[in-house]
Amino acid sequence: MEERILYWDRDRLFGFEKVDRKNVEGFIEALRKNRELPIVYVGMIGRDYLLLPPDGGHHRALSHYLENRPLRIGVLKQNEIMPGTSSICFSLIDSIRSTREIFDIRRTELSLK
């Protein structure tokens, strides 16, 4: 895994789960108190990033976007195992793309329940 910083003005992050507004607001509050949130794991689709299950990180990612703050991401290579699981990154990406609608996380109207 390679740790990187995602910048909203030059990087694109895709997700697949709708998020709960109250959870996002809780993360925003934590960010405003300068708390560092856990890293968000992603895979690559070309030059873009895709949030990975089971953690997903959708709430954390959206809260960082809404607060215009860079997001710490852990980029997994195709053959790497997702931390805390036995799932291989490449298999997760294929599964998500074939079974779920993915969207740019910056399109908040698609992201919020």
Q: Where are the beta strands (DSSP E) in the chain?
A: 2-6, 13-15, 40-45, 48-51, 71-75, 103-104
What Rg, from alpha-carbon coordinates, does the chain have? Answer: 13
User: Which of 77, 69, 83 shows the shortest CA–CA distance to 28?
Assistant: 69
Instruction: Measure the CA–CA gap between 81 and 58, rounded to whole angstroms.
Output: 20
**pTM of the entire predicted model:** 0.88
Instruction: Measure the CA–CA gap between 106 and 95, rounded to whole angstroms.
Output: 22
* Mean per-residue pLDDT of the chain: 89
pLDDT value at residue 80: 85
Residue 21, both tokens: 């507004």
- Which domain covers residue 56, as residue numbers? 2-111
The domain that contains 43 carries what CATH number? 3.90.1530.10
| Average pLDDT of the segment spanning 3-18 | 94
pLDDT band at 83 (very low <50, low <70, confident <90, very high): confident
Number of structural domains, the chain? 1
User: Is the model more confident about 44 or about 79?
Assistant: 44
